[in-house]
Amino acid sequence: MKQTIKVTETDIKQGKCQDALRCPVALAALRAGFIDPGVTRLDLSYGDGAAWRCLSLPGEARRFVRAFDLGETVQPFEFEVTV
């Protein structure tokens, strides 16, 4: 099943650089229904109630996380993951 994650301007403003739990992508994933999401430059990890899962981020999300962590200007965007 595919799920869309929408990173908003609010996520960007409230996000914290180099913080896996407060990254704008993690905040957007939490809003999208993922449990305890954490984000690295490559992956989205989350709980599903029984176990931890890890999904590879698509290229546009990886580029966003990298740019955000480097303090570059980023814009809202959305991407899909397969869960």
Name every residue whose Cβ is closer than 8 Å to that of residue 13 and which is 6 or more positions away in sequence. none
pTM of the model: 0.94
Report pLDDT for 50.
85
Domain ranges of the chain: 2-82
Angle at 45 between CA 59 and CA 25, to 5 degrees: 55
11 CB-contact burial (10 Å; exposed 0-12 / middle 13-18 / buried 19+): buried
- Could you read off the pLDDT of 6-62 as tens digits, one per residue? 999 999 999 999 999 999 999 999 999 999 999 999 999 999 878 999 999 999 999
